[in-house]
């Protein structure tokens, strides 16, 4: 699976290519492709944030004494 950074880089590449083109229709097509890559990058970034939020929410917490505590349970010091 490709990362959002890959799709952002592709979007920048197509945007830069479009700026160098003299054919307006080809430049517009390159800009449309850039927009598609950017949209994919943004979608992946949202998915990555959601996955990270789930991991953070479900990750075991460290109790004050250094042991692991299951999410939702209280540590001995609470």
Listed by start position, the domains of the chain span: 4-65
- Give the pLDDT confidence score for residue 18 in this predicted structure: 98
Q: What is the CA radius of gyration of the chain?
A: 22
Query: What are the start-end ranges of the H helices in the chain?
Result: 4-20, 24-58
- Distance in Å from the first CA to the final CA of the chain: 42
Chain segment 3-61, per-residue pLDDT in tens: 999 999 999 999 999 999 999 999 999 999 999 999 999 999 999 899 888 888 877 66
In terms of pTM, does the model score above 0.85?
no
- Give the pLDDT confidence score for residue 71 in this predicted structure: 61
């Amino acid at each position: 699976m490709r990362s959002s950074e890959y799709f952002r880089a592709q979007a920048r590449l197509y945007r830069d290519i479009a700026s160098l083109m003299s054919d307006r229709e080809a430049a517009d097509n390159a800009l449309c492709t850039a927009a598609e890559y950017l949209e994919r990058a943004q979608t992946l970034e949202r998915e990555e944030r959601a996955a990270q939020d789930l991991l953070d929410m479900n990750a075991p917490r460290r109790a004050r004494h250094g042991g692991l505590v299951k999410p939702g349970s209280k540590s001995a010091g609470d």
